């Protein structure tokens, strides 16, 4: 009977279990739900899917493969590739050093290439590997040649040689090498390649024979030496100015010709009977010269000599003393003239006595006796005809002017 039968409907569930599971114990078609087949109906089973997580803690109570859903995306953590929902997979995050179960712990990815910076070999994606990139987190920079902290792309002087990169390009030097520096001979800040006057001597390089020497710019004689340090010789100047040279030579020849003509004319006038001396007296107006000319015939006489000076008068003595006997007068004897060529009379003998006073009219020819040494104030007052002698002290020597010696006050004294 039914009272003794524990499973009245014979559905494999006891009448008491079906009663607990709220199914009909008298109907074989109504059996309790038992998801995990543990013969504990789901209604009373604390772990319906038998995954070891009670239903009250199981996000998926009827999925024995899932029980948690950290990011609440409806996919269990076991099947979910990104449990924390931070867009980084659970496999990537451990390699990037972050927690795949913490949405606040996610990898850094500077260039956004989905490769975290920890494992990305080009963090800024500028095509330069981080190991070679001076600025691994700046895609606009990768090199800093001069290590000044400014990348070469932004740096106006990449090599730090004080020459801007654009200027170095024009000066034909390497903007990335500190040893490649533009040449600037005159130091004016403009390299020689661009400088119109490299040595800054005021003469442009096209016209400067020595464009890198500020002291020279011409070499007119072509000897390879600058004209400033090695001035042109007279021959060089004549070669460089042929027209002027011809004119100067012509003038010199004209002067010489004039001097020769003047001398020849003077000699011709001297041979003429009408020629006059410096006192504008004709020879034929002087009796002595007339007689001399007559004795010489047609041969031209030599230039007249000055008349002999009369004897000097006796100087009175302060005390009366016996006057010395006068010396016998020396008679001037004219030498006999040869029949063919007249010879001028010999000069009178030089007397040891003081010269007699000059006759009237010749006082201006008298040479006063110098009192003390003869001096001049400076070299400008020295007489003509001498040459300087480099001795100590300096001397000025000439056949006609004598020997002059320079004094400590720059005056000159006749020796």
If one compares 247 and 287, the residue with the highest pLDDT of the two is 247
What's the mean pLDDT when you consider all of the chain? 81
Local structure of 93: helix, strand or coil: helix
Domain membership of residue 385 (yes or no) is: yes
Domain membership of residue 4 (yes or no) is: no
Local structure of 122: helix, strand or coil: coil
Please determine, for residue 27, whether its predicted confidence score (pLDDT) is greater than 50: yes
Predicted local distance difference test score (pLDDT) of residue 361: 55
Please determine, for residue 304, whether its predicted confidence score (pLDDT) is greater than 60: no
CA distance 286 to 290: 6
Task: Give me 84's structure tokens.
Answer: 């924390």
- pLDDT, one tens digit per residue, over 84-132 is 899 899 899 999 999 999 999 999 999 999 999 999 999 999 999 999 9
Count of Cβ atoms closer than 10 Å to residue 269 Cβ: 11
High-pLDDT (> 70) share of the chain, %:
74
Predicted local distance difference test score (pLDDT) of residue 212: 92
CA distance 396 to 405: 6
Range with the poorest average pLDDT among 14-18, 101-105, 213-217, 331-335? 331-335
Q: Which of 167-176, 286-295, 312-321 has the highest mean pLDDT?
A: 167-176
Please determine, for residue 280, whether its predicted confidence score (pLDDT) is greater than 50: no
Predicted local distance difference test score (pLDDT) of residue 338: 46
Domain membership of residue 360 (yes or no) is: no
Q: How confident is the model at residue 236 (pLDDT cuts 50, 70, 90)?
A: confident
Report the predicted TM-score, pTM, of the whole model to 2 decimal places: 0.41
Q: How confident is the model at residue 283 (pLDDT cuts 50, 70, 90)?
A: very low
High-pLDDT (> 90) share of the chain, %:
44
Q: How confident is the model at residue 326 (pLDDT cuts 50, 70, 90)?
A: low
Domain membership of residue 38 (yes or no) is: no
Instruction: Average the pLDDT over 71-96 and give the result.
Output: 91
Residue holding tokens 């010396």? 327
Predicted local distance difference test score (pLDDT) of residue 287: 54
What is the phi/psi pair of residue 327, to 5°?
A: -70, 145
If one compares 329 and 60, the residue with the highest pLDDT of the two is 60
Q: How confident is the model at residue 9 (pLDDT cuts 50, 70, 90)?
A: confident
Predicted local distance difference test score (pLDDT) of residue 156: 95
Predicted local distance difference test score (pLDDT) of residue 186: 94
If one compares 69 and 317, the residue with the highest pLDDT of the two is 69
C-alpha distances (whole Å) from 118 to each of 66, 130, 218 are 32, 11, 70
How many residues are present in the chain? 415
Please determine, for residue 269, whether its predicted confidence score (pLDDT) is greater than 60: yes
Task: Give me 86's structure tokens.
Answer: 């931070």
Please determine, for residue 5, whether its predicted confidence score (pLDDT) is greater than 80: no
Residue holding tokens 């009373």? 44
Q: How confident is the model at residue 327 (pLDDT cuts 50, 70, 90)?
A: low
Predicted local distance difference test score (pLDDT) of residue 366: 52
Please determine, for residue 341, whether its predicted confidence score (pLDDT) is greater than 60: no
Please determine, for residue 345, whether its predicted confidence score (pLDDT) is greater than 70: no
Q: How confident is the model at residue 299 (pLDDT cuts 50, 70, 90)?
A: very low
Q: Which of 156, 152, 158, 193 is nearest to 178 (CA)?
A: 158
CA distance 386 to 395: 10
Per the structure, how many domains does the chain have? 1
Predicted local distance difference test score (pLDDT) of residue 140: 96
Instruction: Average the pLDDT over 147-153 and give the result.
Output: 95
Domain membership of residue 403 (yes or no) is: yes
Please determine, for residue 334, whether its predicted confidence score (pLDDT) is greater than 90: no
Predicted local distance difference test score (pLDDT) of residue 311: 57
Task: Give me 411's structure tokens.
Answer: 């005056």
Instruction: Average the pLDDT over 164-176 and give the result.
Output: 95
The two counts, helices (H) then strands (E), for the chain are 6, 5
Range with the poorest average pLDDT among 159-168, 215-224, 297-306? 297-306
Q: Which of 47-56, 65-74, 125-134, 363-372 has the highest mean pLDDT?
A: 125-134
Predicted local distance difference test score (pLDDT) of residue 260: 92
Instruction: Average the pLDDT over 195-212 and give the result.
Output: 94
Task: Give me 267's structure tokens.
Answer: 């000699």
Predicted local distance difference test score (pLDDT) of residue 291: 55
* Structural domain that includes position 380: 375-414
Domain membership of residue 380 (yes or no) is: yes
Domain membership of residue 60 (yes or no) is: no
Count of Cβ atoms closer than 10 Å to residue 30 Cβ: 15
Predicted local distance difference test score (pLDDT) of residue 332: 47
Domain membership of residue 400 (yes or no) is: yes
What is the phi/psi pair of residue 413, to 5°?
A: -120, 130
């Amino acid at each position: 009977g039914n009272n003794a039968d524990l499973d009245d409907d014979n559905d494999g569930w006891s009448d008491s279990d079906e009663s607990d599971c709220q199914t009909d114990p008298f109907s074989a078609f109504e059996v309790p739900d038992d998801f995990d087949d543990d013969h504990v109906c789901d209604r009373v089973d604390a772990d319906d899917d038998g995954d070891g997580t009670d239903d009250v803690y199981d996000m998926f109570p009827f999925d024995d493969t899932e029980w948690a859903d950290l990011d609440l995306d409806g996919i269990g953590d076991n099947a979910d590739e990104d449990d924390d929902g931070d867009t980084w997979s659970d496999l990537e995050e451990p390699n990037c050093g972050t927690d795949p179960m913490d949405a606040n712990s996610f990898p850094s990815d500077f260039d956004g290439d989905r490769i975290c910076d920890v494992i990305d070999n080009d963090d800024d994606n500028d095509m330069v590997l981080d190991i070679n990139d001076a600025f691994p987190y700046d895609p606009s920079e990768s090199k800093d040649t001069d290590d000044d902290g400014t990348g070469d792309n932004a740096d106006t002087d990449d090599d730090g040689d004080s020459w801007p990169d654009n200027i170095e390009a024009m000066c034909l030097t390497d903007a990335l090498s500190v040893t490649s520096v533009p040449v600037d001979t005159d130091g004016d800040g403009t390299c020689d390649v661009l400088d119109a006057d490299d040595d800054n001597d005021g003469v442009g390089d096209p016209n400067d024979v020595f464009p890198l020497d500020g002291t020279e710019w011409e070499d007119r004689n072509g000897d390879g030496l600058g004209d400033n340090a090695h001035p042109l010789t007279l021959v060089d100047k004549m070669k460089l100015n042929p027209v002027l040279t011809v004119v100067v030579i012509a003038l010199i020849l004209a002067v010489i010709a004039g001097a020769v003509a003047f001398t020849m004319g003077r000699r011709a006038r001297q041979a003429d009977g009408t020629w006059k001396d410096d006192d504008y007296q004709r020879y034929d107006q002087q009796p002595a010269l007339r007689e001399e000319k007559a004795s010489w015939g047609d041969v031209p006489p030599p230039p007249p000599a000055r008349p002999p000076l009369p004897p000097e008068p006796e100087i009175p003595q302060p005390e009366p003393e016996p006057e010395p006997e006068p010396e016998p007068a020396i008679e001037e004897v004219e030498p006999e003239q040869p029949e063919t060529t007249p010879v001028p009379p010999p000069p009178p003998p030089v007397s040891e006595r003081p010269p007699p006073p000059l006759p009237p009219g010749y006082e201006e020819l008298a040479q006063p006796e110098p009192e003390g040494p003869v001096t001049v104030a400076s070299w400008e007052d020295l007489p003509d005809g001498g040459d300087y002698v480099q001795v100590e002290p300096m001397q000025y020597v000439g056949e006609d002017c004598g020997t002059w010696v320079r004094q400590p006050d720059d005056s000159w004294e006749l020796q």
